[in-house]
Structure 1
């Protein structure tokens, strides 16, 4: 009798927990639905007011264009395929610059944390380089590396490198010192500490730097293309601005925004997959 009573009580507890979890999932889904619905409503209201302002002659389309003109511009660009070579150039330059800068930045951060003497020696030099306005130096990068892809990649690397280096160092510094001391007391070698404690513990900070770094890589590439380039979305912005085509400028900026969102989404997904893999492995 007691066994049956305990089993029934356990079933009731399990049913309660299941219902609670189902209610939480339902609430989360409802909230997500209303968040996206509100976002769409705000965007639609903004575009509607913009178009109405142009039609009512309250907004000058020469300077601000209008949603219908921007939509028509993008439709034509996509239909005839003229935008895709520029998208490919900008995206490839961004990815190469980001990859090189991120790899070098993470490596530099790890080395500096492993060798404090080298970090102390390099600190003033790296600080000076980091505070330099690299975007303002974009013309110099073009002189040094030419008008091709090299100058845009180098400019992106110069921005991403410091972001990832500093985030890597911050991630390692934030580790629990007691954990490191305990591992050392248990006989862990420096190599084991690095691979089992330091690097995994710094992963969230590293990916936080990557989310910021990929945006700055795109920014650096576009600035370089706007100054001097044969191809790329930045070059198209300069061309449309010189031609007084506001719809072309804003349409190209919209494409860049979509690329930035896509790159950020990829980094976030990579982080969530890596952290999930770490949790499963543990």
Structure 2
């Protein structure tokens, strides 16, 4: 049943996406929209095919993947640690609250040039930008998830003699797990965005660098080719995160429902 449902939705998606590209191709080939500004799917997929057959794209994808994973891992770990610490420490939470809100309100993209000066044009300036995007998303979800734990559950665990270590492992973390994974889905996308924006603003490798090169010579087909590759890449990362979530949250009441979807 699950496989049939997935197959049906896969067919629906194929029809929708295929129909959109077919309409785009017809409009472009007949001059109803300008190929110079909107490109043509036939040429766009020709660029993608050339990238993969020649192997040109692989080094750029590898660089973007490395930047994304480093930013995601560092930002997620920092966000979870800070979220747990402040959620369980009312004094420090109240003390640092205005600074955290001020830092979160800053448009982090403006730090990209500063990180390029500090860390150079290699991967670490992109990682630093990605970390600033990931950290706050994970932090606020973990912080809220821990604070939403049922007081009755906490009281019962303490009555049974649970230590702080046991409370953290068996009460706070499981209760906040759904919040954590909800934030991680957003975080992996933001890490990816940070990597690409950093590449776009200054780099010698990465898919963002390919798009920037194409824009400089008004090659809109290559720009759209890069966008499509990045979109497929982002969907793949999200699918990996979904599989990990299903493996970890096997005890969740919504696990079976999410698996069927």
Per the normalisation by structure 2, the TM-score is 0.93
- Number of matched pairs: 253
Q: Equivalent residue for 1:39?
A: 13
Q: CA deviation at 1:230?
A: 1.1
Q: In the TM superposition, what is the alpha-carbon distance from 1:31 to its structure 2 partner?
A: 4.5
Describe how 1:179-198 pairs up with structure 2 within 5 A.
Answer: 179-198=153-172
| CA displacement at 1:189 relative to structure 2 | 1.7
3-state SS in 2 of match to 1:276: coil
* 1:264 pairs with one of 199, 221, 238: 238
Q: Which residue of 1 aligns with 2:212?
A: 238
Partner Cα separation in structure 1 for residue 16 and residue 92 of structure 2: 52
C-alpha distance in structure 1 between counterparts of 2:204 and 2:174, whole Å: 42
- Determine the C-alpha separation between the residues in 2 that align with 1:153 and 1:40: 34
Mapped pair 1:71 → 2:45: yes
Q: Does 1:159 align with 2:133?
A: yes
2:256 aligns to what?
none
Relative contact order (alpha carbons < 8 A, sep ≥ 6): 1 or 2 greater? Answer: 2
Matches of 2:197 and 2:3 in 1, distance apart? 40
Structure 1 runs (4+) deviating above 6 angstroms are none
Return the match for 1:208 from 175, 182, 188: 182
Cα-Cα RMSD = 1.6
What is aligned with 2:23?
49
- Aligned equivalent of 2:58: 84
Q: Deviations over 1:58-88 (max 9, x none)?
A: 1111111111001110111111111111111
| Runs of 5+ unmatched residues, structure 1 | 1-24
| Correspondent of 2:191 among 210, 217, 236 | 217
Q: Which runs of 5+ in 2 are unaligned?
A: 254-261
- Pick one of 186, 195, 199 that aligns with 2:173: 199
TM-score (norm 1): 0.86
Higher-Rg structure is: 1
